[in-house]
Amino acid sequence: MTDAGALLLTPGAGGSRESPALLAVEAAVAPLPVARVDFPYRREGRKAPDRAPKLIACVVEEAGRLAADQGVDPGAIVLGGRSMGGRMCSMAVAEGLPAAGLVLLSYPLHPPGKPERLRTEHLPALDLPCLFVGGTRDPFGTPAELEEATALIPGPVTHVWLDGAGHDPKGREAEVAAAVADWLPTLG
């Protein structure tokens, strides 16, 4: 199917590893091994996310655990997730975490209503294949804004747009999952 050895999925700030979109992706990419993980604040029963360094450290730790558990090279792991989770995975890769690719679902390019506060500083360090799946009505970034920002990424970038969808792909999980399942074989 793909050169990917496994897939690590992380939730958005308000979600958990049981997010319908993450569950749908896991089912769609079977038999590829998938680890859906919660961040420490969620495991501790808190609602407010930790700061980025702690979230990134969690991604690094979970990616290492998944590689060891599956007996695959850390560079064969595809990392990603919804919104904040995907962003933390991309930041971990920008800081040097090896990965085969990034799956970024509903990437939070900027806070809603604040397009001047772009979260793009790390994008030029992403020299690997990246999949962005998002709604055309996402207040965290329009298709035009996201396509302009992702032009900073040296690796190959694929965009899949869910027409009319917002930040939460509620009811569109099958489309999100299909986009990931269709993209993974392009890695190898």
- 1 lies in some domain: no
pLDDT tens-digit series, residues 24-42: 999 999 999 999 999 999 9
Order of strands, sheet of 77-82, starting from the edge strand that comes earlier in the sequence: 34-36, 6-10, 77-82, 101-105, 130-135, 157-162
- Write the CATH number for 112: 3.40.50.1820
**Count of domains forming the chain:** 1
Q: How many CB atoms lie within 10 A of CB 114?
A: 10
Q: Distance (Å, rounded) from C-alpha 45 to C-alpha 29?
A: 29
- 150 lies in some domain: yes
Look at residue 85 and tell me whether its pLDDT is greater than 70: yes
Distance, CA of 22 to chain centre: 10
Tell me, yes or no, if the pTM score tops 0.85. yes
pLDDT tens-digit series, residues 125-175: 999 999 999 999 999 999 999 999 999 999 999 999 999 999 998 999 999
Q: Distance (Å, rounded) from C-alpha 105 to C-alpha 38?
A: 16
State the average pLDDT for the chain: 96
Query: Domain containing 152: what range?
Result: 6-187
